[in-house]
Amino acid sequence: MPMAYRRLMKVHQLPSGAVAWPLSPPQQSPPNALSILAFAQSLKTIFLDRDGVINENRVDHVKSWEEFRFIPGAVKAISHLTAAGVRLFVITNQAAINRGIMTTGQVDELNSRMVEVIRQHGGWIESVIYCPHRPEDGCGCRKPAPGLFFRAAEQFHVNLSEALVIGDALADIDAGRAAGCAGMFVLTGRGREQVKALGPEYRGVPVAADLLAATQLLLGQNVGPRHRIPTS
């Protein structure tokens, strides 16, 4: 495995905290856009969920490269964020490991291939950090617990107050908030269903159609059309 990909990590229980980051309500587009653009001026790091944000979700887990499908526009979004100088990490729950469906080696290999395709298109993921546990394992790293974010902060010297989490599930937003990060929803993956469950505590969390739309909002520019990136 190339040296750059040996930084893939499995992490375990870590401390927790809590903080909220209010923005204007997502249904109010002009104030919301202005709030995001204002925050983007100090944005240094983005944590991306994997399944449902970068690639298409599967109810039976993405178990192999043959099952991996990039969401149209996701790779382009990552390349534009990289060009803008934003540090990018992938934070993902991969319970398929503890369910005995995949080995850590298989997950590492899949992540490495994903990162390599992204690199070939001008993007850079510093590390893919994942939790192997099932919900019933009671760990401190499976989102919505914030352990993976604290690990990234410690390992890679990330200032979490200058970081944004982009996810398709409430667990992504909750984990980011508990770590002191801002959050943004995308409607790909589980997003369209999850956004229906938003309560008043999520008022102000911005919502974008997909990762490319989120990137356009953050950078304040049109980054072009969506294209499907082949994986074979």
Q: Which residues are catalytic?
A: 49, 51
Paired with 91 in beta bridges are 129
Long-range contacts of the stretch 182-185 (C-beta < 8 A, 24+)? 182/21, 182/23, 182/39, 183/21, 184/36, 184/208, 184/214, 185/26
- Give the Å distances, CA to CA, from 212 to 1, 79, 141, 215: 30, 10, 27, 5
Q: Is 1 helix (H, G, I), strand (E, B) or coil?
A: coil
- Give the Å distances, CA to CA, from 204 to 136, 160, 172, 211: 31, 19, 15, 18
* Residue 111 CB contacts under 8 Å (≥ 6 apart), including other chains: 5, 8, 50, 90, 128, 130
Q: Give CA 18 to chain center in angstroms.
A: 19
DSSP 195: G
